[in-house]
Amino acid sequence: MPSAIDLARGHPALTEAVQRGRKILHRRALVAAAAGAVPVPGLDWAVDAALLSRMIPKINAEFGLMPDQLDRLTPHERERVQKAVALVGTVLIGKFITRDLVLKAAKTVGLRLTAGQAARYVPLAGQAVSALVGYTAIRYLGEEHLKDCVRVALKADLRLPNQPST
């Protein structure tokens, strides 16, 4: 399975957008790992939902896929983006990110494994496993979203916000 960078290969602006998105993603995943290590029931879910609801729009913005950015496109360009979003099958592009959308995305990948939840109550080693599960889950969701953004940008032949006009 190709990574977002692999999908963007040959498109410098897309590659740069993926790299900026990965920086955002890495910082949020570290916070998720810290929350996963704390043995407070439900804290990790609350933190993950908050992280995702802030991270997804920032990544969308890097690709010009926020609702306000899409509104500035010509009707023809907007139609191409909408068709690309439908082809890719994502629910997190071109929409305002709500708690329900975040929960839907989290459920599709089983954001937190039961073992990871239970592991946190085992002193030290369990908390480390839970932190790793939290980090990995956010990284996975973020990388999948980056891939979706690249696919949409490629299919729609979208000019990115930080890309010069040709």
Task: Indicate whether 16 belongs to any domain.
Answer: yes
Task: Indicate whether 158 belongs to any domain.
Answer: no
Which residues are within 8 A (CB) of 106 and not within 5 positions of it... i.e. 6 or more apart?
48, 49, 52, 141
List pLDDT tens digits, range 16-70: 999 999 999 999 999 988 887 887 777 777 787 888 888 999 999 999 999 999 9
Task: Indicate whether 26 belongs to any domain.
Answer: yes
Domain that holds residue 134: 4-153
List pLDDT tens digits, range 79-99: 999 999 998 888 778 776 666
Task: Indicate whether 164 belongs to any domain.
Answer: no
Number of independent structural domains in the chain: 1
Three-class SS of residue 47?
helix
Residue 104 has pLDDT above 80, yes or no: no
